[in-house]
Structure formats: C-alpha cells, structure tokens
C-alpha cells in the first residue's frame, strides 16, 4: 500500500466514527486510539461549528430576538449522542446536525414574532445539507464515474432541493446581516428557491419558476431532452435555456444515459 493510501486511512479514521470503531481500522494499530479519538471529536465539533456559523448566519443574526444561538447545539447532549455515528461531510450527518439546530431555534418563543422563521430555518437547513457529500478537489478527477458517449441526458444532481416557501426570503436575508433594532420583515409571497451545489462544493441559490420545478423533478438521467420537454410541457428552446441555468448552478448535470 502506498503512503498516500495509508494517509487516506488516517483521514477516514478521523472523519468516519463507525470506521474508527471498526476492527478493520483498529487492527492496523496505526495510532494511539485514545489520542486519535480526542482529535476526531475536536475535528467534528470544529467541522460543524464552521458549517453552522456559515449556513445558519441569519438565524444567528436573529439570536438576540429568539434567544437561540444556532451553534449552542454543539455543546448539548444531543450532539454528543451523534458523535459515535458521525461521518464528517456526509449528507446524513449534515442532515442530523442541521436538524438539531432547526429544532433548537424553532423552539424559541421570541418577544417579537418572526413569521418567516420557519421558512428561514428550512432554507438554512437545505443549504447545509446540500453542501455535504464528496466533492471534486482537482479538475482531472471531474469525469470519474462518467463513461464515454454522448452527453445528452440531463439528471438532477443529488442534494439539489427546490424549496417552496410562504415568504419572499431573498428580500430579507441581506437586511438580517445589517444593523437593525426591530427584526426586518419579509413579504408574504409564495416563493420557490432552488438550492444546489457545484462539484467543487460551492452552494448556490436561485429563484425558481414552474419550468425549473418541472425540470428538477423530471430530470432522472433517463429522459432525453425531447422526452423531458414533452413531460414538462416545455418548448425545447425554453427547456434548453432552463437547463443552461441549472447546469451553471450545479443543479443538473448531463450523463451518458447508460
């Protein structure tokens, strides 16, 4: 085994708690298990602190009204309970940690009502979950898993979410990060937001419409462009324009269909 492969095992042991506890890892006796465990727990708290700080920054800005700081969950027993099964960067662990934050903040009884708080938490949770998963670190590994052939079958990328919200969140988000005395308000208006992640791990958000909703729902990697246009009830030109935007966002990619 190469040293690089060995390093990967150490990285995995630090990131993946079930692997760290497995006989497969333990019998290698590469590192002191107690010190490795301490460092792994330290990394886990650091890893999710960074993500909560980034993705729940709007809830953090509202903490002086809600009394609930999102990152407080990292010091609570429920987070400790997650640690033996946590896999840093996995979608499952991101979902579990984000859920803890949502439950913590949603249970607040703010002095001033924040009608869009539920929408906001759904949005922040979707961002954090979308960001999780393996990523491409170098361009020359981008095509792994994709065979040769024509790239004409669109598929919605795993983790892409279309949120249907009751409030127009994009109008209030920047205001939340500015100085305010009363919490900024958001217009009550049905709003579709698409949350997607690029292969490099960059999460992006865009307003969605009916065409976007249809494509995200129907692009299954099997329907060709013509079939997708028919199923979605879209003109091919409209579909192509929609797909262009979705591809740039990372919400859709093209596969060989094989």
Partner 1 sequence: MATLMIGAFYNPHLGAELARATGIDHLAMADPPAPSDPYWPKVRERYTLLLHDYLGQLSEPLDGRAIERARALAALYRTPWVAEHFQCLHTEDGTYNLNYVLPPLYTEEFLARFVANANALKARLDQPLVMENIPGFFDVKASQLSEPTWLRRFFEATGTGFLLDLPHVWLEAHYQGMKPERWLAEFPLEHVVELHVAGVEEDEDLKGLWIAPAEPSVEMLDFLAHAVAHCPQAKAVTFDAFSPSLTSDVLFRSVERIRAVL
Nearer to partner 1, 35 or 111 (CB): 35
From the list 39-47, 99-107, 184-192, 204-212, the region that binds partner 1 by CB under 8 A is 39-47
Q: Does 258 bind partner 1 (CB under 8 A)?
A: no
CB 194 within 8 A of CB 242: no
Distance CA(59)–CA(148), nearest Å, equals 45
**Residue 234, SS3 per DSSP:** coil
CB 192 within 8 A of CB 209: yes
The one among 65, 72, 85, 89 contacting partner 1 by CB under 8 A: 89
Site for partner 1 in 143-202 (CB under 8 A): 144
The one among 91, 99, 118, 135 contacting partner 1 by CB under 8 A: 135
The one among 140, 147, 179, 181 contacting partner 1 by CB under 8 A: 140
Nearer to partner 1, 89 or 257 (CB): 89
Q: What is the DSSP string of 130-150?
A: HH-S----SGGGTTTT--SS-
Minimum Å gap between C-beta 8 and partner 1 is 4
Distance CA(79)–CA(162), nearest Å, equals 28
CA 229 remoteness from chain centre: 28
Tokens of 88: 């840093």
From the list 31-39, 146-154, 225-233, 249-257, the region that binds partner 1 by CB under 8 A is 31-39
Q: Does 35 bind partner 1 (CB under 8 A)?
A: yes
Q: What is the DSSP string of 12-55?
A: HHHHBHHHHHSHHHHTT--S-HHHHHHHHHHHHHHHHHHHHHHH
Interface with partner 1 (CB under 8 A), residue total 39
Angle between the N-to-C axes of helices 33-55 and 3-15, in degrees from 0 to 180, rounded to the nearest 10: 70
From the list 27-35, 99-107, 162-170, 221-229, the region that binds partner 1 by CB under 8 A is 27-35
From the list 101-109, 134-142, 213-221, 242-250, the region that binds partner 1 by CB under 8 A is 134-142
Q: Kindly list the residues in this chain that would bind partner 1 in the complex (CB under 8 A).
A: 2-4, 6-8, 10-12, 14-16, 29-32, 35-36, 38-39, 41-43, 45-47, 50, 53, 88-89, 134-141, 144
């Amino acid at each position: 085994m190469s040293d690089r492969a060995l390093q990967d095992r150490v990285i995995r042991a630090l990131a993946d708690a079930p692997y760290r506890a497995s006989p497969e890892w333990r019998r290698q006796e590469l590192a002191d298990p107690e010190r490795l465990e301490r460092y792994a727990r330290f990394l886990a708290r650091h890893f999710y602190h960074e993500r909560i700080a980034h993705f729940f920054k709007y809830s953090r800005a509202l903490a002086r009204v809600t009394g609930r700081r999102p990152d407080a969950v990292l010091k609570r027993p429920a987070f400790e309970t997650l640690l033996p099964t946590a896999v840093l960067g996995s979608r499952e662990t991101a979902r579990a940690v984000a859920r803890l934050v949502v439950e913590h903040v949603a249970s607040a009884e703010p002095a001033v009502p924040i009608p869009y708080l539920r929408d906001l938490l759904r949005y922040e949770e979707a961002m954090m979950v979308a960001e999780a998963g393996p990523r491409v670190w170098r361009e020359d590994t981008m095509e792994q898993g994709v065979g040769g052939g024509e790239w004409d079958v669109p598929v919605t990328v795993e983790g892409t979410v279309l949120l249907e919200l009751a409030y127009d969140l994009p109008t209030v988000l920047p205001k939340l990060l500015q100085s305010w005395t009363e919490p900024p308000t958001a217009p009550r208006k049905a709003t579709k937001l698409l949350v997607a992640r690029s292969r490099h791990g960059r999460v992006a958000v865009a307003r969605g419409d009916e065409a976007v909703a249809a494509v995200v729902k129907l692009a299954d990697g099997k329907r060709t462009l013509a079939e997708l246009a028919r199923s979605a009830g879209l003109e091919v030109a409209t579909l192509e324009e929609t797909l262009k935007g979705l591809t740039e966002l990372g919400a859709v990619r093209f596969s060989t269909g094989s």
